[in-house]
Chains A and B, each alone.
Chain A
Amino acid sequence: MRKNLIFAEGEVRFLREMTRSKVDFMIVGLSAAALQGAPVVTQDVDLWFRNLSDPSITKALRKVGGAYVPPEGDHPPVFSGEAVQLFDIVTHMHGLKSFEEERRGAVKIPLGGFTVAVLPLDRIMKSKRSLGRPKDKLALKVLSDALRAARGRSARKG
């Protein structure tokens, strides 16, 4: 039975396994913004990979009882399995540079004994502006205020 916990041991273990195996990925989208303190709401955790065919991804999936489901028709690739169902695979970030270039500016966020690469708030905003969907426009104000709060906080701390 699924434990009544969101983002519990299974999800954390999957990220830990990928980090341990040196899978090159970043958390992007609103979950990345949430990790950086933005008061947002999101249904999933978007993962952007350098190389989706990296065999270490499949190994990490197996360790948590998950599997990779390749794209089919108009459906993008997805992960199946209880521990990974919150994760969405991102194959392209609108309005941003290549994975390699964005990865260089990623922020490192500690996540219980390991760190994950996370797309910075200003880059998330750039992508949202580029997408321009109503839900992106709604999120932009919160993201920009969260960015100002984070920068203001850093400035105060010197």
Chain B
Amino acid sequence: MRMQVSVERVKQLCRERGTTLTSLLAAAGVSRNAFYSLARRDSIYPRSLCAVCARLGISPDMALSADEGGVESMKSLLAEVEAIVGRDKRVDRDNVRHALLLLREKPIDRLRRALVRAQKPDIR
């Protein structure tokens, strides 16, 4: 499967958000040259990935699951937060989310985070 950037689609999305492609590129810090160069490519995937996937007989997007996994994992965590907050309205949503995130880490890493934060009080 060839995955290309559709300039028309991006322009349409800009219009829907009340902006222009020029403004968008400026805000994103992307030059027109870089954007149109990307849009001219046959595929946004690297050739090496396309070659590997061609040998496997799959489309390159089928090899990209890491980020999707991250999103799904976060969605699952947020659902867990909602379930806990739903049962007890007194709890602070952020505290629960942070606690659940920490519970996914190794105990020693949780402790290290607590100690590091104490030594860098200016961290936000």
Which residues does A use to contact B, with CB under 8 Å? 6-7, 12, 30-31, 34-43, 45, 86, 109-112, 141-142, 144-146, 148-150, 152-153, 156
Asked whether A153 and B92 contact (CB < 8 A) given A6-B119, A40-B114, A148-B84, the answer is no
Q: Which residue of A lies closest to B113 (CB)?
A: A34
Which residues does B use to contact A, with CB under 8 Å? 80-81, 83-84, 87-88, 91-92, 95-96, 98-100, 102-103, 106-108, 110-119
Determine how close the nearest CB of chain B comes to the CB of A29; give it in whole angstroms: 11
Determine how close the nearest CB of chain A comes to the CB of B77; give it in whole angstroms: 10
Do residues A110 and B96 form an inter-chain contact, with CB atoms below 8 A? no
Do residues A146 and B95 form an inter-chain contact, with CB atoms below 8 A? yes
Q: Which residue of B lies closest to A7 (CB)?
A: B112
**Other CB < 8 Å A-B pairs besides A34-B111, A149-B96, 5 of them?**
A34-B102, A34-B114, A39-B98, A111-B108, A146-B99
Contacts of B107 in A (CB 8 A): 35-36, 109-111
